[in-house]
A and B are shown apart, each in its own frame.
Chain A
Amino acid sequence: MEKFTAFESWVAVLPVDNIDTDQIIPARFLKTVSKEGLGDQLFYDWRYDADGNPRPDFVLNRPPGNRAQVLLAGDNFGCGSSREHAPWALTQFGFRAVISTSFADIFKGNALKNALLPIVVPPEIHARLLKMLETDPLATVRVDLASQTLTLPDGTPVEFPVDSFAKTCLLEGIDELGFLLKHEAEIAAFEQTHPAPVDTLSVKFED
């Protein structure tokens, strides 16, 4: 995994609460067996009209939203389905961080595994940033994971929380599966003392 570095970016503003993963990527695009090619399907039903043409008023179809690396969304972002296609689509579009007042649990975990940083800010900071971007849509924010700082367009630094292990993984490009595989001895020892409650191979169905 690539290391997560600090960056400055425009912000795409989507001030809607409870944006669910069905909006981020509709289920009909989940029939793929690949991780690739999902960026064009991001927010598909909000982004395109019935004929598949981009809606000019949608934030991702016009500057600076079409080139932003940061998405500012409403509360409880990423609720609903566990589909990891949601962070895949967001990162393939070009996003590296989402700012909200809270994130759904499964989405947050999926995002962190795909170098997409969920940044939680207090409601008053969220409202302030929203106002600044209304006044100046081309204003930029700076995201620095190492110091856990979001710098607002007026220079105000806002510290955000992040799980310390996820932070280390992102900054150093550590892959979680590689980390897990190093604990083979502990896993094998656990299995010795914890017999399987169910053996899924124990029943053979005759059909």
Chain B
Amino acid sequence: MSQPRTIIQKLWDSHVVCQPPGAPALLYIDLHLVHEVTSPQAFDGLRRRGLKVRRPDRTFGTCDHSTPTTPRDLPIVDPVARAQVEQFEKNCREFGIPFFGFRSPRQGIVHVIGPEYGLTQPGMTIVCGDSHTATHGAFGALAFGIGTSQVEHVLATQCLLQSPSKSFNVRVDGHLRPGVTAKDIILALIAKIGVGGGTGCVFEYTGSAIRALSMEERMTVCNMSIEGGARAGLIAPDDTTFEFLHGRPFAPKGAAWDRAVAYWKTLPTDEGAVYDREVTLDASQLEPMITYGTNPGMGIPISAPVPDPGEAADPVERETRRKALAYMGLEPGKPLAGHPVDVVFIGSCTNSRMTDLRAAASVLKGRKVNPRVRVLVVPGSQQIKRQAEAEGLDRIFREAGAEWREAGCSMCIAMNGDQLAPGEYAVSTSNRNFEGRQGKGGRTFLASPLTAAASAVTGVVTDPRTLLG
């Protein structure tokens, strides 16, 4: 009987090509996703060396980051962004990589379209030049973000030089209470372990509360693994995973499907396998979470007061927290509930899928957005946009006074013209509240789609449970 292994170990073992002496292992990459921002310099590198893309059949592209969310029949106004999107499409054509271009009716955020089209499957290694690649871990894949040098390495060789990470079991048991969501689980985890808490690790999310989540909710949790310092985070595949994938364009068909499922069922962590680290959360104790500071670890339950920086023992940490509150214009000791809001952003690779849009619509239905607040709803893909329109969600958003836009990263990264003005406050369903992340001088409160929608209605940070029927 062989040693019991975690799913993390199994994925690693099955993808090691070789172990050269004195070097990291060569890890084989099954799927490489490419977008317009982190790839142009890598394609240039290939040209300089006269190299081809080794496996265009294991590569897929879409544009999302600098892509406008205005109607697609309009040109891209920003000449620098337009040149980048055009270069991306040109690079994909030149190197034979299939892609969804700017005007494709299938375009979307790279971490949304992978699962949507069944490209993302259990047991795979998946990389992308984007730190939120961990999203694909929701399917039981080892998925992580890489820099542009590594984008070039994978384009050229389909491999990375890689050392194994430590395994970190994040166990979440109990039942989420009404108004508390997957987003609140991950924000609570990061608040507990800190933004560097998972450095050097891959998270495996386990426990009954994780098992009970839908695939879309699992993607929300895995998406923000990097915000806890872990390059990857994953969830072992189960029937929920298989049901989601069945019938998607790239999912295996017929006998190949049965063989794939049989293999996928061997992936979960073996009984008795040992993790390097562990942490537990009780889902039934969680409240809606919100961040008050300038990194995602600065999060609190929505009814709790903003912590006093003076409580930090370490002087650098104390200064860091003071600086964060000064940037945010907040005083310690007061809760955030009731704080005025200028913008609400519902979107991003964290929370732009159908269940997120349905949750936001459930709050906005029959209500009006506070006239002081600008509300942007940005679906994760053009496919999601169409589905939401078929369900009438766009009408609910528009009638409430929200903007219903085309797909892209939008105000999560503020590269495409969707951005906060200096000093503005946003409740955002995205993943980062760093200084200036949503626009220079902008101030971000990260929260769930329910909390974002509730705050849109009242014009102040609002506990969504006060508006739920």
Residues on A facing B (Cβ under 8 Å): 15-18, 20, 22-23, 26-28, 30-35, 45, 50, 74-76, 79-84, 87, 102-106, 109-110, 113-114, 130, 163-165, 168, 176-177, 179-181, 183-184, 186-187, 190-191, 194, 196-203, 205, 207
B350 close to A (CB within 8 Å): no
B348 close to A (CB within 8 Å): no
> Which residues does chain B contribute within 8 Å of A198, judged by CB atoms?
30-31, 58, 118-119, 121, 124, 250
Please determine whether A201 and B56 come into contact, CB atoms closer than 8 angstroms.
Answer: yes
Which of B28, B55, B149, B260 contacts A110, CB < 8 Å?
B149
Please determine whether A200 and B38 come into contact, CB atoms closer than 8 angstroms.
Answer: no
Q: How far is the CA of A180 from the CA of B149 in the complex (A)?
A: 12
Q: Name which residue of chain B comes closest to A178, CB basis.
A: B49
Please determine whether B59 and A200 come into contact, CB atoms closer than 8 angstroms.
Answer: yes
Please determine whether A45 and B84 come into contact, CB atoms closer than 8 angstroms.
Answer: no
Which of A35, A165, A168, A183 contacts B17, CB < 8 Å?
A183
> Which residues does chain B contribute within 8 Å of A50, judged by CB atoms?
422, 441
Give the top 5 A-B pairs by smallest Cβ distance, nearest first: A76-B196, A84-B147, A33-B40, A110-B147, A82-B145
Q: How far is the CA of A194 from the CA of B147 in the complex (A)?
A: 26
Please determine whether B121 and A197 come into contact, CB atoms closer than 8 angstroms.
Answer: yes
> Which residues does chain A contribute within 8 Å of B422, judged by CB atoms?
50
Complex interface bits, B223-246 against A, C-beta within 8 A gives 1, otherwise 0: 000110101000000000000000
Please determine whether B157 and A200 come into contact, CB atoms closer than 8 angstroms.
Answer: no
Q: Name which residue of chain B comes closest to A83, CB basis.
A: B38
Please determine whether A180 and B81 come into contact, CB atoms closer than 8 angstroms.
Answer: no
> Which residues does chain B contribute within 8 Å of A201, judged by CB atoms?
56-57, 98
Q: How large is the interface on B (under 10, 10 to 19, 20 to 34, 35 or more residues)?
A: 35 or more
> Which residues does chain B contribute within 8 Å of A180, judged by CB atoms?
26, 153, 156-157, 159, 161
Considering only residues 11-41 of chain B, those with a C-beta below 8 Å from chain A are: 14, 17-18, 20, 22-24, 26, 28, 30-31, 37-38, 40-41
B425 close to A (CB within 8 Å): no
B305 close to A (CB within 8 Å): no
Q: How far is the CA of A191 from the CA of B297 in the complex (A)?
A: 41
Which of B131, B150, B320 contacts A74, CB < 8 Å?
B320
Q: How far is the CA of A201 from the CA of B227 in the complex (A)?
A: 33
Q: How far is the CA of A203 from the CA of B57 in the complex (A)?
A: 11
Q: How far is the CA of A190 from the CA of B13 in the complex (A)?
A: 13
Please determine whether B123 and A197 come into contact, CB atoms closer than 8 angstroms.
Answer: yes
Known: A83-B147, A177-B153. 11 other contacts (CB 8 A): A15-B319, A23-B434, A26-B436, A33-B83, A45-B440, A82-B145, A83-B38, A84-B38, A84-B148, A179-B23, A198-B121
